[in-house]
């Protein structure tokens, strides 16, 4: 098992190299001349030339690439012009907020989508099957930023059930001591129940918004793969042998049906991390997505590039985790690795 994971880790190396090359190309494709940009409008030609040498822009592209990779490895991801802080520190600071939102959204989606898909597959043509079909088609059509606003309007403005859609805590609550950076967990560790409730209240609407969007592909895939497995010969044999229907459904069918669902999780994470940015903007969530948007608006490019790189590395890591989970569910995948 350990060996398989190590092999898979090595397999992620080309993806990481590709990601770094692309972010390097994006850095060089900056609009305008970075040297002229740093010298300011009053910069003389000599000053621009000096800065060009200082930034290493006079060297060949391969040389620049090597020093770029060196900087990345040393943790020098550039400085944000607006806040003056190192980009890496800013991202590390805000990452837990984004991760908490993403993971809770995913959890909600999985908890709803998988039972829905299984139920729809076991009762084809029933109302629950039609409900599943309706939700899956409507779900992928929802612009996340719009559903978020709609939820905020209904649950905050009309019903008053949710707190104002601004940030991770209401203004009267202080953040719990930093342990994991996840307010839900940290507040429990600190034993502050009020903080937990406040954080959960703030989290629920954005998390539902995210969940609504990724529910569709998950439910659809669960239904399809469950349908496929249920009509397989080994299920017929299991039924004919007189096994209990629940045993057939869960031990035999569900475990096999889970494999394609795990594979779609990769795509689902791509959706999640992307729509995370939009949801963060709608709910003024202080994560790395809203950080990147602020930087974009201010034409501050180092944070944007840092953000793209961080998201890509995170995505590679998540895919790695999915592969490991795949090996846990399917012993065959372990043998092949």
Partner 1 sequence: MSATPSAATPATPVAAARPGAVALWWRNLCYVFGENPLSAIAAGLFVFFIVLAALGPWLVPYDPLASHVGDPLSPPSAAHWFGTDALGRDILSRVIIATRLDLGIAVAAVALSFVVGGLMGSFAGYFGGWFDRISTRVSDTIMAFPLFVLAMGIVAAMGNTVANIVLATAIINLPFYLRVARAEVRVRRDAGFVEAARLAGNGELRVLFHHLIPNILPPMMVQISLNMGWAILNAAGLSFIGLGVRPPEAEWGIMVAEGAQYIVSGEWWIALFPGLVLMLAVFCFNLLGDSLRDLIDPRRRT
**Rounded distance between C-alpha atoms, residue 12 and residue 322, angstroms:** 12
Identify which of residues 104 and 224 has a Cβ nearer to partner 1 in the complex.
224
Identify which of residues 253 and 272 has a Cβ nearer to partner 1 in the complex.
272
Kindly state the smallest distance separating residue 98's Cβ from partner 1, in Å. Answer: 11
Kindly state the smallest distance separating residue 278's Cβ from partner 1, in Å. Answer: 6
Kindly state the smallest distance separating residue 55's Cβ from partner 1, in Å. Answer: 16
Kindly state the smallest distance separating residue 193's Cβ from partner 1, in Å. Answer: 28
Give CA separation, 148 vs 5, 54, 277, in Å. 38, 45, 12
Identify which of residues 31 and 171 has a Cβ nearer to partner 1 in the complex.
31
User: Is there a contact between 156 and 163 (Cβ–Cβ < 8 Å)?
Assistant: yes
Identify which of residues 110 and 309 has a Cβ nearer to partner 1 in the complex.
309
Identify which of residues 47 and 293 has a Cβ nearer to partner 1 in the complex.
293
Q: Which of 17, 69, 107, 77 is nearest to 291 (CA)?
A: 77
Determine how many CB atoms are found less than 10 A away from the CB of residue 114: 21
Kindly state the smallest distance separating residue 19's Cβ from partner 1, in Å. Answer: 5
DSSP 146-162: HHHHHHHIIIIIIS--S
Identify which of residues 50 and 167 has a Cβ nearer to partner 1 in the complex.
167
Beta bridge partners of 86: 79
Residues lying near partner 1 in the complex (CB under 8 A): 14-16, 18-19, 21-23, 26-27, 29-31, 137-138, 140-146, 149-150, 152-153, 156-157, 164-165, 220-221, 223-224, 269-275, 277-278, 281-282, 292-293, 296-297, 301, 304-305, 307-308, 311-312, 315-316
Beta bridge partners of 8: none
Phi and psi (nearest 5°) for 221? -70, -40
Give CA separation, 239 vs 124, 201, 226, 235, 317, in Å. 18, 46, 16, 6, 40
Kindly state the smallest distance separating residue 149's Cβ from partner 1, in Å. Answer: 5
């Amino acid at each position: 098992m350990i060996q398989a994971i190590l092999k898979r880790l090595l397999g992620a190396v080309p993806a990481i190299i590709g990601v770094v090359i692309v972010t390097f190309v994006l850095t060089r494709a900056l609009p305008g001349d970075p040297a002229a940009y740093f010298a300011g409008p009053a910069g003389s030609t000599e000053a621009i030339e000096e800065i060009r040498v200082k930034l290493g822009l006079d060297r060949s592209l391969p040389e620049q690439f090597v020093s770029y990779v060196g900087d990345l490895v040393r943790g020098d991801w550039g400085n944000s012009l607006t806040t003056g802080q190192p980009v890496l520190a800013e991202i590390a600071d805000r990452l837990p907020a984004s991760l908490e939102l993403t993971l809770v959204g995913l959890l909600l989606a999985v908890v709803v989508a998988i039972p829905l898909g299984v139920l729809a597959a076991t009762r084809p043509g029933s109302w629950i099957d039609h409900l599943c079909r309706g939700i899956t088609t409507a779900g992928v059509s929802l612009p996340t930023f719009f559903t978020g606003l709609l939820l905020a309007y209904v649950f905050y403005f009309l019903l008053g059930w949710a707190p104002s859609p601004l940030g991770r805590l209401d203004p009267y609550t202080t953040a719990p001591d930093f342990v994991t950076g996840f307010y839900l967990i940290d507040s429990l560790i600190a034993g502050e129940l009020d903080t937990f409730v406040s954080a959960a209240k703030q989290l629920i609407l954005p998390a539902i918004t995210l969940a609504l969007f990724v529910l569709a592909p998950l439910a659809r895939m669960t239904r399809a793969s469950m349908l496929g497995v249920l009509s397989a010969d080994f299920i017929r044999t299991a039924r004919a042998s007189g096994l209990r229907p629940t045993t057939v459904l869960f031990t035999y069918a569900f475990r096999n049906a889970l494999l394609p669902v795990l594979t779609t999780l990769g795509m689902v994470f791509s959706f999640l991390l992307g729509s995370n940015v939009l949801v963060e903007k709608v709910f003024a969530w202080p994560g790395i997505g809203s950080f990147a948007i602020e930087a974009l608006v201010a034409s501050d490019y180092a944070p944007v590039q840092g953000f793209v790189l961080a998201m890509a590395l995170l995505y590679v890591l998540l895919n790695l985790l999915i592969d490991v989970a795949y090996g846990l569910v399917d012993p065959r995948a372990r043998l092949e690795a």
